[in-house]
Amino acid sequence: MELPVIDLAPYLEKSAKCSREVGEKKLDDPNLQKLCEEVSRTLAQTGALLVKDPRCSAQDNDRFIDMMEKYFQRPPQFKRLQERPHLHYQVGVTPEGVEVPRSLVDEEIQGKLRAMPKEFQPSTPMGPDPKWRYMWRVGPRPSNTRFQELNAEPVIPEGFPEWKDTMDSWGYKMISAIEAVAEMAAIGFGLPKDAFTSLMKQGPHLLAPTGSDLQRYGQEGTVFAGYHYDLNFLTIHGRSRFPGLNIWLRNGQKMEVKVPIGCLLIQTGKQIEWLTAGDCIAGMHEVVVTNRTTDAIKLALQQDRSLWRVSSTLFAHIASDAVLKPLGHFAGSPIASNYPPICAGEFVEQELAVINLKGNKGEL
């Protein structure tokens, strides 16, 4: 199965026109309505979606990856200067060997894995993920919040004068794409257009690229990110220079993702599952060195390119002080009681504790 590619341009054009024309609030174009329904249906059925956004170019993604390759190539002792364990690693760098894959510690997930057909089972991680990650907040922070450690100031490494501009530029563009998809999904689900985006305002959105050293860990079968779901609302990725991302569809089928040049991949997180009472479920995925990865390594060696696999990843969140609960007609779902109201920041803290990012090096 191939994921459909949704071109956001027609929706963005219509949306811009609606905002200019006072009084025209509803989407009255049947073709765009169908497009919105395709977005919501695809997210619900597969947990993933490919989009093309005219505001996010392949060149933007390349500029970002070029800089992150240079950063991850720096020595570990340099990178550790940007480490902030007391802030739950929610800003700055997370070194390799810290984050624990959910599948290693979650007994419910382990039970589901054992019940899977062999060909759909994920790779088994040997321990914590051997990947580095950089967390960079994007967008305005709330002036008053109960969750200060989830809304900390960003960390800028020395020797990268272009850092803030590059991170903010790419981060804002990817958030804009997520907001368009969130509006389209809301329309497709029969909710108000701003049902999701109103809750995202001043959320602790994170541009969170990973860096995986293929020179050290380039053997086929190496697990860089063990089988897990994302705890946030929606995750968006630009195209990586090395393949290796596998996702699981709602029917349990495992699928290797191929992101076309100039496209972005969007995945459902746990917060949208909460807001839709499980109509969307958080998509499971892993990053593993496959034979396609090793082919890309050989090509990079021939071309004298970096052997760091950088993921161009952004986690879009519901605002920390907003309440997660099933929205609109989803509140009437027979399983809505499985998703009781909880403050988004509280939910995030609970999830971070499970994967070893909160509380392991001292509390605030």
Per-residue model confidence as pLDDT tens digits over 281-318: 999 899 999 999 999 999 999 999 999 999 999 999 99
Residue 362 is assigned to a structural domain of this protein: no
Measure the CA–CA gap between 59 and 66, rounded to whole angstroms: 10
Which residues make Cβ contacts (< 8 Å) with residue 297, sequence separation at least 6?
A: 214, 218, 242, 307
Mean of the per-residue pLDDT values of the chain? 90
Looking at per-residue pLDDT, the higher value among 147 and 358 belongs to 147
Full-model pTM: 0.91
pLDDT at 75: 97
Q: Among positive and negative, which fits the CA dihedral 155, 148, 233, 194?
A: negative
C-beta of residue 206 within 8 angstroms of C-beta of residue 135: yes
The reply to whether 344 falls in a domain is: no
- 31-40, 102-111, 123-132: least confidently modelled range: 102-111
In sign, the C-alpha dihedral spanning 88, 94, 95, 101 is positive
- Decide if 254 is inside a domain: yes
Rg (CA), the chain: 20
Q: Which among 172, 183, 140, 135 is positioned nearest to 319, based on CA atoms? A: 140
Return d(Cα 38, Cα 196) in angstroms, integer: 17
> Using CA atoms, how far apart are residues 148 and 140, in angstroms rounded to an integer?
14
Q: How many domains does the chain fold into?
A: 1
Report if residue 360 sits inside a domain: no
Per the model's pLDDT, the better-predicted residue between 20 and 63 turns out to be 63
**Of residues 3 and 324, which shows the higher confidence score?**
324
pLDDT at 56: 96
Q: Is residue 353 part of a domain?
A: no
**Best CA proximity match to 6, nearest among 47, 37, 45, 49:** 49
In a domain, 90, yes or no: yes
pLDDT, average across residues 99-107: 78
Residue 330 included in any domain: no
Q: Is 288 helix (H, G, I), strand (E, B) or coil?
A: strand
Which residue, 234, 228, 230, 312, is CA-closest to 266?
Answer: 234
Share of the chain above pLDDT 90, in %: 70
Q: What is the pLDDT of residues 135-147, one digit of tens each?
A: 999 988 787 888 7
Asked whether the beta carbons of 316 and 233 are under 8 A apart, the reply is: yes
Q: What is the pLDDT of residues 74-83, one digit of tens each?
A: 999 999 999 9
CATH number of the domain that residue 190 is part of: 2.60.120.330
Is it the case that residue 35 has pLDDT exceeding 50? yes
pLDDT per residue over 188-242, tens digit each? 999 999 999 999 999 989 999 999 999 999 999 999 988 888 999 999 999 999 9
Contact 321, 343 (CB under 8 A): yes
Q: Please tell me the distance from the alpha carbon of residue 52 to that of residue 264, in angstroms, as a whole number.
A: 6
Q: What is the distance between the alpha carbons of residues 280 and 275, in angstroms, rounded to a whole number?
A: 9
Residue 258 token pair: 């191929």
Q: Is residue 136 part of a domain?
A: yes
**pLDDT (0 to 100) of residue 292:** 95
Burial 45-62 (b: 16+ CB within 10 A, else e): ebbbbbbebeebeeebbe
Q: How confident is the model at residue 274 (pLDDT cuts 50, 70, 90)?
A: very high
Number of H helices, E strands in the chain: 12, 15
**What is the residue range of 210's domain?**
5-15+32-319
